[in-house]
Amino acid sequence: MYRTLLLLWFVLLSGCQFRGESRPLSAEVPPPPTLVDAPAHCIAARARFGLGRLITAALLDEMRMRTGAHRARLVVETDPDTPFDASRLLVDIEPKGRVVGMRCG
C-alpha cells in the first residue's frame, strides 16, 4: 500500500515538472475586448409593444432598453414640457397608468 502511494506521489510530482509549449504567464496575450457605445438617440418605434399596457418599472425599463435611450420619463398630458434630449424616451400615459404613446425627446 505504501509503495502504491509513494509511486502515485512521484507521478504527481513529475507532472508538476512538465513544461509544455504553452506558457500561461507569457506576454503573448490577446488585446482586451472593446466596448461599443449605445446609440446617442432613441428609436421610439421599437417600444410599440407597450401600447395599451399598464406601466410598471419593468415595462418602462424594457421600453428604454429596446429603443436605445439612455433615460426614460413618464409624461401625463398635464406635465410641463422639458428641454429636448435625443437620448431620452418619453412615454405618454393616462392618469390611470395606461401607455398611450411614446416619443423621443
Q: Tell me, yes or no, whether 78 lies in a domain.
A: yes
- How many C-beta atoms lie closer than 10 Å to residue 47's C-beta? 26
Domain containing residue 72:
44-104
What is this structure's pTM? 0.61
Size of the chain, expressed as the number of residues it contains: 105
pLDDT at position 66, please? 93
Q: What is the mean pLDDT of each run of 10 residues along the chain (105 residues)?
A: 72 63 66 68 90 95 93 91 89 94 91
Beta-carbon contacts of 44 under 8 Å, excluding residues fewer than 6 positions away, are 67, 89, 102, 103, 104
Number of domains in the chain: 1
pLDDT at position 82, please? 87
Extract the C-alpha cell encoding 6.
Answer: 509513494
Q: Tell me, yes or no, whether 53 lies in a domain.
A: yes
Q: Tell me, yes or no, whether 73 lies in a domain.
A: yes
Phi, psi of 8 (to 5 degrees): -65, -40
Q: Residue 62's domain is classified under what CATH number?
A: 3.30.10.10
Extract the C-alpha cell encoding 53.
Answer: 399596457
pLDDT at position 16, please? 61
Q: Tell me, yes or no, whether 15 lies in a domain.
A: no
pLDDT at position 78, please? 86
